[in-house]
Amino acid sequence: MKPITLISGAQKGIGEEIANKFASEGHDLILLIRYPLQKNILIKRYKKKYKINIKCFVGNLKDHKFINQLKKKIPKVHNLINNAALRNDKHFLKVTDNDLNDLLEINLKSVFKLTQIFSKKMIKNKIKGCIINISSQLGHVGAYNRSVYCMTKFGLEGLTRSMAMDLGKYGIRVNTVSPTKIVSTHPLDKNKERLNLIRKKIPLQKFATKKQIASIVYFLTTNSALSITGTSIISDGGWTAGK
């Protein structure tokens, strides 16, 4: 039987690259995506290219009803990759209640709820599975105009460590992967001057790539990582090593 890997926020960016990596390694996929138009495109792509089984569930992870439906519709998984997240670039004094609530719902609460649901299914099915939370270097250091984002990522790091301790006796491992800046389609990433400024702060003078992060995530699910739990692999080019 092929292992089953569930990935949230799988329609683009790091999530899409993680899905590509696990599909290439022969995993069946369950993808959580945001928009209906993406569903058939993704299913056709993965079935044709990788010859795997794939299911896509469309919904908003702020919607607790959607998350509870997943509990009923998905009997088991071997790996859970909590990738979905929101960013916020506002100055602390300009953050609104809606900003705060949105990031807490997606970046923390959805991770808590999905992990609770699927770790129970792992235990029921005697699966010594893996839970990997996509964090950030900003879960380890602060930054200007990132107060809410840093709050949720620091919280994710703490949650991950505590879950690892609670779930270890069942053979379930929980870790985070914390990338540095990854160039995306966000409007701010079209500003070359800004990107160069950020790059100069990285000792290796380069950004992480989506493929690199996907490979680290996959590594954590392999036998080579059987003793790794309750920690973070920081792929930041040395950013958090010091000034």
Residues annotated catalytic, as ranges: 149
Q: Determine the straight-line distance between the first and last CA of the chain, rounded to whole angstroms.
A: 48
Q: Quickly count: other Cβ atoms within 10 Å of residue 194's Cβ.
A: 11
Distance of CA 102 to the CA centre of its chain: 17
Return the structure tokens found at 82: 């909590």
SS (H, E, C) 154-212: HHHHHHHHHHHHHHHHHCCEEEEEEECCCCCCCHHHHCHHHHHHHHCCCCCCCCCCHHH
Phi-psi bin for 89: left (phi > 0), alpha (psi -120 to 50), beta?
Answer: alpha
Q: How far is CA 94 from CA 88, 98, 187, 235, in A?
A: 11, 11, 20, 30
CB 14 within 8 A of CB 213: yes
